[in-house]
């Protein structure tokens, strides 16, 4: 049986990743075992310091190596903020390693020239911006990026006030859809947002698991 390892940075990963994405995916992929590694101090420390610190990066690398030691064939980080750590891990870990938002970034760059990033975490937006710029360089394409961060929505989400969280996100989407070619929702916490926009709106989740399947098959 093949093994996919997921590295999470929130304690409620069952609600944000497993139930909506991993469970239905695994029903279609019964030949794959999913193992989970969680350390919510990673995101907490990153938020307090404007991004992953050296200690956070070191711990993430250790988790990637631990997943490899546990027999993982493919390893996916489910946190946008950990993108820089994931790219570093690719230089060390022998197994395929990627961040859940990377497939989305590739599609976003291919679809438009002006990309709008909507985030609720101050560390998520810069990580997504960096990823889009890396992908644009890969595709040899010039892009423009507009960033919107609504931290108030994140606070509502943490308090379980989902309707207020969504209301703020809908308001932002209504506004930015007139300013960009593509809207990018890089955080897994925004993956369940349902809103019909005038331009393509790309979310993480299903695309990440689809890419994991490709990597597992390639192996």
Each residue of 42-96: pLDDT tens digit? 999 999 999 999 999 999 999 999 999 999 999 999 999 999 999 999 999 999 9
Nearest to residue 204, comparing CAs of 89, 105, 120, 121?
Answer: 105
Give mean pLDDT, residues 99-121.
96
* pLDDT reported for residue 70: 97
> Does residue 129 register a pLDDT over 70?
yes
To the nearest whole number, what is the mean pLDDT of the chain? 96
- pLDDT of the residue at 18: 97
**What was the pLDDT predicted at 83?**
95
Contact 119, 128 (CB under 8 A): yes
Q: Does residue 218 have a pLDDT over 90?
A: no
Residue 185 has a pLDDT of 95
Q: CA–CA separation, 24 vs 32, rounded Å?
A: 12
CB atoms within 10 A of CB 152: 12
H or E segment to which residue 53 belongs? none
For the chain, give the percent of residues with pLDDT over 70: 100
138 has a pLDDT exceeding 70: yes
Domain ranges of the chain: 2-100+206-218, 102-203
Fold assignment, 102-203: Rossmann fold (3.40.50)
CATH architecture of 2-100+206-218: 3-Layer(aba) Sandwich (3.40)
Mean pLDDT along residues 129-150: 96
Query: Can you tell me the mean pLDDT for 146-164?
Result: 95
Nearest-5° angle of CA 105, CA 74, CA 96? 65
CA dihedral 148, 40, 7, 202 (to 10 degrees): -20
pLDDT of amino acid 219: 61
DSSP 80: G
Is 102-203 the same fold as 2-100+206-218?
yes
Closest by alpha carbon to 173, among 151, 146, 201, 153? 201
pLDDT > 90: percent of the chain: 98
Residue 4 has pLDDT above 80, yes or no: yes
């Amino acid at each position: 049986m093949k093994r996919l390892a997921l590295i999470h940075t929130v304690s409620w990963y069952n609600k944000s990743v497993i139930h909506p994405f991993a469970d239905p995916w695994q029903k279609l992929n019964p030949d794959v075992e999913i193992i989970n590694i969680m350390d919510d101090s990673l995101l907490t420390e990153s938020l307090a310091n404007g991004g992953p610190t050296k200690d956070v990066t070191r711990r993430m690398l250790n988790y990637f190596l631990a997943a490899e030691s546990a027999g993982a064939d493919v390893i996916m980080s489910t946190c946008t903020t950990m993108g820089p750590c994931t790219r570093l891990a690719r230089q060390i870990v022998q197994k395929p390693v990627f961040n859940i938002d990377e497939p989305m970034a590739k599609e976003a760059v291919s679809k438009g020239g002006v990309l709008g990033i909507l985030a609720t975490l101050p560390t998520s937006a810069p990580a997504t911006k960096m990823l889009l710029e890396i992908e644009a360089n890969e595709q040899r394409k010039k892009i423009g990026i507009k960033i919107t961060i609504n931290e108030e929505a994140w606070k509502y989400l943490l308090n379980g006030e989902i309707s207020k969280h969504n209301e703020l996100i809908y308001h932002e989407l209504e506004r930015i859809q007139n300013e960009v070619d593509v809207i990018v929702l890089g955080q897994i916490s925004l993956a369940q947002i349902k809103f019909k926009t005038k331009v393509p709106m790309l979310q993480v989740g299903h695309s990440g698991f689809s890419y994991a399947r490709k990597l597992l098959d390639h192996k």
